[in-house]
Chains A and B, each alone.
Chain A
């Protein structure tokens, strides 16, 4: 078997050309694509990590806000209860005051009416007693007593 150097050289050149062509046309673009893909995956991973971190931060803020809101609501309820209690006490105090004033006013009114009634009754009684007395006197005085009364009047005038 003869070794054909020219053939070998030719084959080598041929291989080199094919290898070069493959390198330029296939290997490099594939490498470039792989590199780009790896970069993209890394970016995506980084973005995913960032999103996860943001999510954690959001969860933390959410939890914090919830606790804050809960505290505020408890405080609000407490304040509202306290205010309602104060308002209730104030209303009760006012109502008691009004009732007391009304009762006192009515009592005073009644006392005045009672006093007036008593006064009227006493006047009517006195008038009735004097009317009866007048009647009794007008019918019961005889001439002798009349004379005596006139004498007494004259004596009084003389003083």
Chain B
């Protein structure tokens, strides 16, 4: 069983959850999602699968702009 931890600024809708699971299953063989809400990321998503992290949050984009 491969679990992905999803962090978002607001709770995902069921449609978004479904789409996301489909994408992650296809690309990373993820079978389950674990959701977290963190307003600090400002928007977008942060996906953690094991030791791999895909940061697509607005906060991360702003940080990248800072550099």
Contact = CB atoms under 8 A, between A and B. Distances in A.
A41 interface: no
Given A134-B59, A151-B16, A143 B10 contact: yes
Contacts, number: 61
Interface in B17-61: 19-20, 23-24, 27, 39, 42-45, 47, 54, 56-59
B62 interface: yes
Nearest to A137: B42
A149 interface: yes
A149 B44 contact: yes
Contacts of A147: 10, 13, 16
A141 B42 contact: yes
Interface in A43-67: none
Nearest to B8: A150
Nearest to B20: A154
A157 B27 contact: yes
A107 B11 CA distance: 58
29 contacts: A126-B66, A127-B66, A130-B66, A133-B62, A134-B59, A137-B42, A137-B43, A137-B58, A138-B39, A141-B42, A141-B43, A143-B10, A146-B8, A146-B9, A146-B10, A146-B43, A147-B10, A149-B9, A149-B43, A149-B58, A150-B10, A150-B43, A150-B45, A152-B44, A154-B19, A154-B45, A157-B20, A157-B47, A158-B23
Interface of A: 126-127, 130, 133-134, 137-138, 141, 143, 145-147, 149-154, 156-158
Given A134-B42, A146-B8, A150-B43, 9 more contacts: A137-B43, A143-B10, A147-B16, A149-B58, A150-B45, A152-B44, A153-B56, A157-B23, A157-B47
Interface of B: 8-10, 12-13, 16, 19-20, 23-24, 27, 39, 42-45, 47, 54, 56-59, 62, 65-66
